[in-house]
Structure 1
Amino acid sequence: MVILQMRSTLLRISFCWLISSQCAWAAPGGTLPDTHEYQLSNGLKLIVREDHRAPTVAHMVWYRAGSMDEINGRTGVAHVLEHMMFKGTDKVKSGEFSRLVAAVGGRENAFTSRDYTAYFQQVEKSKLDDVMKLEADRMSHLNFDDAEFLKEIQVVMEERRLRTEDNPSSLLYESLMATAYMSSPYRHPVIGWMNDLENMKAADARDWYRSWYTPNNATVVITGDVDPLAVLKSVEKFYGVATPKELPVRKPQVEPIQKGVKQVQVKAPADSAQLAMAWKVPKLHPGTLDDVEPYALELLTAVLDGYDNARLNRTLVKQERVVDNIGVGYDMISRGPELFLIQASLAKGKTVSQAEMSIRKALRELADKGILDSELQRIKVRILSEQIYKRDSIFGQAMEIGTTEIAGFSWRDIDRMLDKMQTITPAQVQAVAKKYLVDEGLTIAVLDPQVRQSVQTKQGAQ
């Protein structure tokens, strides 16, 4: 099981216009792979992408239910339910799901984010019906007892201890999000607050399952060496029998406009201090694909941190040596509000003030002087090379389709986004840096490193 909560640090779409009039999805021979969309009578959406380069298939089920749909007191339940989905149905015993997938030579897993929960299997094409039958079964017939839940909630709490409470970078990010957002549910960690996990009951997970795990809240994405009509027939056979339900009302929870700098300090055992700076910025909205600013912000991330010699790494790591590493994150499509995030680990002997000053100087220089067209073109070529590698993956194709659909867009919008991206100019990248990377929408989080206690010291204090 995987939790997805950090922002992407590179563009998730490719600049296919750089190489030809065809998209980077193009299969050998210059032909575009066919993509087919179907809607079942029970509301389930099916998207099938043909890619016949290898006899494998990726099968994914995406539920539009993530941590942003949780309520106070039950944070983390989306991720907990992800764990419980492997605990059996009336037909499949606890633990058997993974064994049965492995028995047909497949691999499988699941992941939860703020926006969704997704499950996948990757198998040889003749085994697609086998895994489809398993996944469709647990969409409607999950059945776990309280004892199974009590064991698994302990696993989740230990996961939180290891990945968050014993990880200074994760603690800093968690506090940053909780400080930056006032009303948006993005302020809660995907794994949930520990107190909520400690008080969670099996009934909470069952309620979540009954509320959101329904065909009219799901998208099935299948990519690989398949025949679309044969896939549709199987999906109708296995998923078509699922009964749709009325979904809970989703409240808007619009984030209030920030009116000044917010700051938070975290004290935790660590080897060095860390600094995170996050600005409120716009995202792309369905129906407004021509909005320039989100594309410019995506490109700005690459200007600052898109390659080894990008501006922040070159200046702060190599030249000034004020930080050991630095990263930038932004994602222009999501269900909730967005941040433009810069996070750095300080070099030995350097202060947070020095690091912040260097970051601000680099941003001010970009806002004042802009970037060269040649610099932007080099960045696009670098990103393209990384995207081509990703597009070679059957699983990568399914991931991109799924995340695009869950954010409220269509897989058909990807080409339009690509077309729009090619029109972005250096002046537009400069403009978003000048407009949004300002104090009015800034949240600063600082990790104050504490001396790590040895095991002997901890035991002596008990």
Structure 2
Amino acid sequence: MKYTTRSTAILLLMLGFLFSFSGVQAQYLEEFEEKVTEFTLDNGLHFIIIERHDAPVASFYTHVNVGGVNEPVGNTGIAHIFEHMAFKGTHYIGTTNWEEEKVAIDNMDQAYQNWLRESYKTDPDSALMEQYWDEFQKYQEESKQYVVNNEFSQIIQQNGGTGLNASTGADFTNYFYSLPSNRAELWFNLEADRFKNPTYREFYVEKEVVREERNMRTESNPIGRLIEEFLAVAYTAHPYGRPVVGWNSDITATTIADAKDFYEKFYVPSNITIGIAGDVDPDQMKEFAEMYFGDLREGEPAPIVTTKEPEQRGERRFTIEGNSQPIMLIGYHGVAESHEDFEALNLLGNIISNGRTSRLYKKLVEEDQLALQVGAFNGFPGSKYSSMFLTLAVPNMNVELDTLEQSIYTEIESVKEGVLTQEELDRARTNIRAGIIRGLNNNTGLASNFASTHNNQGDWREVFLRLDRINEVTLEDLQRVAREYLTKDNRTVGATVRAES
């Protein structure tokens, strides 16, 4: 492998120009394309290779086009649970005897299913439930004796790997880490093996880990509780209204059989994009891809979300009583990132709330001292489908939520009247451009942004073409989208208030 800093210098120079001037994106995109190689295997698995030869390392990012929005009713949280399974090894890694371990796992899941079915009956037999639970625990203990803990991650660490992690969102699940570039074949071997041969090892142990995550993020977190309730109220039909971490009862209800069905439907090659950025040879990457991923089962195309959220018929309001600091969340139904108004709403959120120069911060925090914290953002909980434009505010001591709420509406109404300036719009553009370039200043950022953009929008080039759309937004557009989307009938308002003693 030849190591040179020339390509990196070109890349940095190009990005500098790209984010400094409007109207030149196409020129520098063409230049950038020289560093990108794409190919799709016969089974539908797509690869994007970005060459950066400044250091002998590479980052690997697997983007699966499945998240909380795709989960079946009764199995919320299953995308996150399956994400945990991908770190448990394979038929060859993480076990002392896979054949015997598999028998114990199958018996364990059958016993759990028996216990679950009995527990759901109108008049469950407690003796029978105890019998099934004892069987479940017996097989769970039996399966544990074959487990070699953390062997998958240890192999990566021993070979110089860093940043091993994964995440699950409403629209996606991703897996990523970096390795020395001369260990690229190791990545192909491990990544293909864990997705071709999922084992569901320690499945019920990891379910409890996920449940504990839910407890930390939601049950014990005032903002988490408010957001979960908010989404459930704001969405009546679309699965964006369900929590990615899962409802507690659904975590209990999910079995290995459910996870296998989820895997079969969604972890198909045509639903996966892999990004690789760093000191790699594209021809060699294609050779490895065909060698290790070529026999990954093609499967049927993954099911798509067809439910559309109906138009809201009027303002929705709710409160949660608790002992925490009062918090308010105001949200408006917006659009998906593929919609022509998405960037205008992004810029509007940035102008209203991003940093100390934003309108809401200056007015509510500094001048009137009504709020300790205030912020607005677009594209929640995901952006593949019509999403929400949110404003979150925490009142100052002795400030009523009603007072704070009306002050927020006053600022929004002023936007509708055309109060925004070109200086504010230009500053918001600069902020968003800076965010984009921060996401592209390392191998992991390049691999993740290119792969996720390809999966969500059909082409990694949209990372750069987005800048044209940002530059095309005018002050009139900001005023128009504020009038169109930030309306009372389209609004959901939720608050955490102190419980009355």
* TM class, shorter-length: 0.7 to 0.9
Contact kept in structure 2, 1:88 and 1:97, CA below 8 Å:
yes
Q: 1:25 to 1:51 in 2, by over 3 A?
A: farther
* Structure 2 match to 1:204: 258
Give the 5 Å matches for 1:85-96. 85-93=86-94, 95-96=150-151
- Identical-residue share of aligned pairs (%): 29
What is the correspondence of 1:45-444 to structure 2 with a 5 Å cutoff?
45-93=46-94, 95-107=150-162, 108-145=164-201, 148-270=202-324, 272-285=325-338, 291=340, 293-331=341-379, 334-444=383-493
CA distance in 2, matches of 1:198, 1:14: 51
Q: TM-score, normalised by structure 2?
A: 0.81
1-side partners of 2:179 and 2:267: how far apart? 24
| Cα distance in 1, alignment partners of residues 50 and 221 from structure 2 | 39
SS of match in other structure, 1:354: helix
- The one-letter code matched in structure 2 to 1:241 is D
Match of 1:460 in 2: none
Q: RMSD of aligned C-alpha atoms? A: 2.4
Q: For 1:79-111, what per-residue CA distance to the aligned partner results, in whole angstroms no more than 9, with x for missing partners?
A: 001111112211111521111111111121111
Contact 2:348-2:478 at 8 Å conserved across structures: yes
What SS does structure 1 have at the residue aligned with 2:439?
helix
* CA shift for structure 1 position 128: 1.7
| Equivalent residue, structure 2, for 1:9 | none
Query: What residue ranges of structure 1 are gaps of 5+ in the alignment?
Result: 1-12, 453-462
Q: Look up the SS of the partner of 1:448 in the other structure.
A: strand
- Which residue number in structure 2 is paired with residue 457 of structure 1? none
For 1:393, the aligned partner's letter is N
Aligned partners of 2:363 and 2:311: how far apart in 1?
Answer: 32
Q: Which moved more, 1:337-346 or 1:206-215?
A: 206-215
Q: 1:66 to 1:386 in 2, by over 3 A?
A: closer
SS in 2 for 1:244: coil
Secondary structure (helix, strand or coil) at the match of 1:369 reads coil
Q: Name the CA distance, whole Å, in 1 between partners of 2:485 and 2:40.
A: 40
Bigger radius of gyration, 1 or 2? Answer: 2
**Alpha-carbon distance in structure 2 between the residues aligned to 1:125 and 1:22:** 33
1:32 to 1:249, Cα distance in 2 relative to 1, 3 A: closer
Give 1 or 2: higher helix fraction: 2
Indicate the SS of the match to 1:422.
Answer: helix
Q: Give the SS at the match of 1:237.
A: helix
* C-alpha spacing 1:23/1:97, structure 2 compared with 1 (3 Å): farther
Instruction: Report the alpha carbon displacement of residue 269 of structure 1 after superposing the two structures with TM.
Output: 3.3
Quickly say closer, same or farther: Cα 1:16–1:308, change in 2 above 3 A: farther
Structure 2 CA distance for aligned equivalents of residues 156 and 26 of structure 1: 44
Query: For residues 82 and 248 of structure 2, what CA distance do their matches in structure 1 show?
Result: 16
Aligned to 1:37: 38
Q: CA deviation at 1:403?
A: 2.5
Name whichever of 164-173 and 344-353 sits farther off: 344-353
- Aligned mates of 2:369, 2:34 — CA distance in 1: 47
Q: Would the aligned equivalents of 1:15 and 1:418 in 2 still touch at CA under 8 Å? A: no
Q: Output the CA distance in 1 between the equivalents of 2:436 and 2:308.
A: 33
Change (3 A) 1:328 1:196: same
Any residues of structure 2 matched to 1:19-38 within 5 Å, and which? 19=21, 23=25, 34-38=35-39
Name the CA distance, whole Å, in 2 between partners of 1:376 and 1:243: 49
Counterpart CA distance in 2 for 1:391 and 1:103 is 28
How many angstroms apart in 1 are the aligned matches of 2:51 and 2:16? 19
Number of corresponding residues: 430
Are the aligned partners of 1:59 and 1:221 in contact in 2 as well (CA < 8 Å)? yes
Structure 2 stretches lacking a partner, 5+ long: 1-14, 95-148
Q: Deviations over 1:35-88 (max 9, x none)?
A: 222110011011111222333211111111111111211110110011111122
Query: Is the Cα contact below 8 Å between 1:14 and 1:24 reproduced in 2?
Result: no
Question: Aligned to 2:59, what secondary structure does the other structure show?
Answer: strand
Question: Matched residues in 1 for 2:456 and 2:302: separation?
Answer: 18
**Could you say if the C-alpha distance between residues 25 and 150 of structure 1 is closer, same or farther in structure 2, counting changes exceeding 3 Å?**
farther
Distance in 1 between residues matched to 2:54 and 2:371, nearest whole Å:
44
Q: Cα gap change, 1:269/1:98 in structure 2, threshold over 3 Å: closer, same or farther?
A: farther
| Further displaced range: 241-250 or 222-231 | 241-250
> 224-233 or 187-196, which moves further after superposition?
224-233
- CA offset at residue 20 of structure 1? 6.6
Distance 1:32 1:45 in 2: 17
Letter in 1 for 2:77: G
Counterparts of 2:57 and 2:82, CA distance in 1 = 28
Whether contact under 8 Å (2:70, 2:304) holds in the other structure is yes
Distance in 2 between residues matched to 1:404 and 1:334, nearest whole Å: 11
* Aligned position for 2:144: none
Post-superposition shift, 1:156? 1.0
Deviations 1:302-331 (A, max 9, x none): 111223211111111111111111121213
Distance 2:393 2:326 in 1: 9
Amino acid at match of 1:215: P
Larger displacement relative to structure 2 (396-405 or 298-307): 396-405
Give the secondary-structure state (helix, strand or coil) at the position aligned to 1:191: coil
1:18 corresponding residue in structure 2: 20
- Deviation at 1:451? 9.3
Counterpart of 1:456 in structure 2 is: none
Instruction: Kindly indicate whether the alpha-carbon contact (under 8 Å) linking 2:328 and 2:392 is maintained by their aligned counterparts in 1.
Output: yes
